[in-house]
A = this chain, B = another copy of it.
């Protein structure tokens, strides 16, 4: 039996969109790690009647209802009231909850009296189990309602994270029959989502033991994810990998895969960026351990900088324009020689919103990669606003670098 969970995040500020709810995703991952299937989640405002209805509906539908938020000391925090109403039990001051609050307060503010407003946080539905809060005043609450466990956790993320560690050991008691499913992923680069679909066909269909999903990431890769039996999942992904071998990434993303392979081969990389203006370096720099492969990188935004740093000749720019294959190649090759890096990436293009022409509209970008094996170049025609064009050009340049290093050394590019 796989326990089913519903997640409820409480707070008006979440419904105004001013605060990004990250607790739901954290709770969802926690559930997955503990073999619990989240069937849905919801965000509710600080409205007690709405909360009671949502808690009761969730209890009828799920084995575990994880509720986050609304346990604060102010009057708009109504989660414990709603919890008591949903369980049909009275809410009353709990002496042990008050002791926990006093103990926490004594630890962080020795000698100070606990403010009276915190007494609200000792209000507890009759029969509730308390969950100790190591990072704040409000204890968590677990209440059995019908066949379900309703658990109220604080909305402050660090308080919630710590409390989940105290919650985990109770799962074995609450769900003794329960077996843990396994999540496995395969990451691909170089094929579109529809091409993957066309090639894999039924391999993307779920069955009783396995659910299968496919996600295209803005960062340039595609993930196939299987959830269920470990062995069935392994076999399924192996079958996918057998069909799509050349496109399989060693890490969860193009840039981490590139850094991984460069590290393993003892190679270094650098970039000479024009239109991407630092985004290639920033993408590389986000990967832990990049210092082994990245020593320096240049942003040569003005033509003079391309000439001075990279040795691009002024007549080359004059003849071909700065947004050209020749210029991208000269930048990459100039950067490689100048920096001594094994691999150099270059970008030159028109990110907009101004600067486009009929022949080279906004979004025209040339990217190039140089190594001792030769040069790879590509022309892109990107759409969207300036930031999107820059980001996609940077991702494309690193994808080209990935393809360049992945290629066997015996087939150099002319």
Using CB atoms and an 8 Å cutoff, list the residues of chain A in contact with chain B. 7, 12-22, 24-32, 38-46, 50, 54, 72-76, 107-108, 115-118, 134-135, 156-158, 183, 192-195, 197-198, 204-205, 211-216, 218, 225, 227, 273, 276-282, 284-286, 288-291, 294-302, 304-305, 309, 351-354, 381, 383-384, 386-388, 390
Contacts and interface: CB of A to CB of B under 8 A. Distances in A.
User: Main secondary structure on chain A at its contact with chain B?
Assistant: mixed
Contact of A278 (B7, B16, B278): B278
A352 B286 CA distance: 10
B295 A304 contact: yes
A120 B195 CA distance: 14
Contact of A383 (B39, B135, B157, B225): B135
27 contacts: A7-B43, A15-B28, A15-B38, A17-B27, A17-B31, A21-B25, A24-B43, A40-B43, A72-B193, A74-B214, A76-B204, A108-B381, A115-B198, A276-B285, A277-B281, A278-B278, A278-B281, A278-B285, A279-B282, A288-B353, A288-B354, A295-B302, A295-B305, A296-B299, A296-B300, A296-B301, A297-B301
Copies of this polypeptide in the complex: 2
A25 to B, nearest CB: 4
Given A25-B17, A288-B386, A75 B205 contact: yes
Interface centre among A41, A288, A295, A383 (most CB of B within 10 A): A41
A40 B40 contact: no
A213 B13 contact: yes
B277 A280 contact: no
Given A115-B195, A156-B216, A291-B301, 5 more contacts: A16-B28, A16-B227, A277-B282, A285-B390, A290-B301
Contact of A291 (B30, B212, B302): B302
A304 to B, nearest CB: 7
A213 B18 contact: yes
A42 B45 contact: no
Nearest to A30: B17
A193 B74 contact: yes
B39 A50 contact: yes
A104 B118 CA distance: 57
Interface centre among A157, A197, A299 (most CB of B within 10 A): A299
B28 A74 contact: no
A285 B295 contact: no
B74 A13 contact: no
A353 B108 CA distance: 18
Contacts of A43: 7, 24, 40-42
Contacts of A215: 13, 18-19
A366 B352 CA distance: 33
A139 B127 CA distance: 52
Given A76-B214, A301-B296, A353-B288, A16 B29 contact: yes
B16 A225 contact: yes
Given A16-B28, A38-B16, A298 B296 contact: yes
A384 B353 CA distance: 34
In order of increasing CB-CB distance, the 6 nearest A-B pairs are A277-B285, A17-B28, A278-B281, A17-B29, A278-B278, A295-B302
A339 to B, nearest CB: 9
Contact of A194 (B118, B218, B387): B118
Interface centre among A17, A281, A294 (most CB of B within 10 A): A17
